[in-house]
Amino acid sequence: MSLLFIAGESSIRNHTVSQLSTYGPRSFAVAGPTIWNNLPEYLRDPELSTDNFRRQLKTFLFAQY
């Protein structure tokens, strides 16, 4: 399994090869980057403070469900 992270970009490029179809997609190495890449651009801003990220993430998630 390989993971490619390009520093300075707002998205993580995830290139994975999973040998087990039942566990591969649920592993953190696959699920983490997938969820991160599905977040809106304003949440992936590297200049966003931790407090603002948490607050805006919570607002975003509550609006989704």
Kindly report, residue by residue over 8-30, the tens digit of the pLDDT.
455 555 555 555 566 777 888 88
The one-letter amino acid at 20: L
Which pLDDT value is given to residue 5?
46
Q: What is the pLDDT of residues 36-45, one digit of tens each?
A: 999 999 999 9
> What residue ranges do the domains of the chain occupy?
1-65
- Mean pLDDT across 31-36: 92
* Closest alpha carbon to 30 in 52, 13, 47: 13
**Cα(43)–Cα(56) distance, rounded to whole angstroms?**
7
The pTM is what?
0.59
